[in-house]
Amino acid sequence: MAASMIRPTGNPRVRKEAESGFSLLEVVMSMVVLTVGLVSLLGVFGLAMASTQTSQQDMIAKQLANEALESIVTARNTSQITWPQIQNVANGGIFLNGMNPIYLAGADGIVGTADDAAAGEQTLTDPGPDGIFGTADDVQLPLTDFQRAILISPVYDAQGNLVSTLRGVNISVQYSTPQTHLPKTYVLTSFISQYR
């Protein structure tokens, strides 16, 4: 019997498997994606900072609009003015037309009427560095960057008929901030009824 030969099976050359990892192109692409994400995140932070810096002006505008509406409603509730007077001057009422500086309420105690200019411009009092009102370091903040318009308009029902006992009140406060080039506007829309 012949001797059997034992042959090795498989390839005698041992192949090294390629090492796994990232190619240079993959690393560069991931850096580009990461950079775009970080730049957009920085833009969001910038927008948030600008919004934070204008929040005081936004709050002041809201309060000025509310002050005007409360003045109108109070004058109606106390019968200080009649229903026909709750209109703009152009329609025979007492409220000034268009944008006007922010004045104190005049002798009639109603904001947005002709006698307000004689009372002088309205200012806000900031408590100053010590944070306490009524001390020597209080700061007066003029409202020269603010203007207010009170528009009182008739209301119509669904069929187009005038509702004579209801009027629309649209109060716009326009103001500028150091961060924006265009003025900002806060608008308060409400209704006032002839009845208390």
Mean pLDDT calculated for residue range 130-137:
88
Determine, yes or no, domain membership for 134.
yes
Determine, yes or no, domain membership for 18.
no
- DSSP single-letter state for residue 153: E
Q: Locate tokens 């000025």: which residue?
A: 64
Does this model's pTM top 0.75? My answer is: no
Q: Specify the number of domains making up the chain.
A: 1
Query: Model confidence over 52-64: pLDDT tens digits?
Result: 778 888 999 999 9
- Which of the given ranges, 50-54, 77-81, 151-155, has the highest pLDDT on average? 151-155
Determine, yes or no, domain membership for 35.
no
Mean pLDDT calculated for residue range 10-21:
63
Determine, yes or no, domain membership for 105.
yes
3 state SS of 144 = coil
Tokens standing for 80?
Answer: 């200080």
| CB-CB contact of 93 with 112 (8 Å) | no
| CB-CB contact of 120 with 103 (8 Å) | yes
Determine, yes or no, domain membership for 160.
yes
Residue 35 binned pLDDT confidence (cut-offs 50, 70, 90): very high
pLDDT at 128: 84
Dihedral sign for Cα atoms in the order 127, 128, 131, 136: negative
Is the pLDDT reported for residue 129 higher than 90?
no
- Three-point CA angle 146, 151, 155, nearest 5°: 155
- Domain residues for the domain of 126 are 57-193
Residue 15 binned pLDDT confidence (cut-offs 50, 70, 90): low
Determine, yes or no, domain membership for 46.
no
Determine, yes or no, domain membership for 82.
yes
| CB-CB contact of 193 with 168 (8 Å) | no
Determine, yes or no, domain membership for 51.
no
Distances (CA, A) of 5 to 10, 56, 100: 16, 96, 111
Average pLDDT of the chain, as a whole number = 87
- DSSP single-letter state for residue 131: T
Is the pLDDT reported for residue 18 higher than 90?
no
State the helix-helix crossing angle for 24-53 and 55-77, rounded to 10 degrees: 40
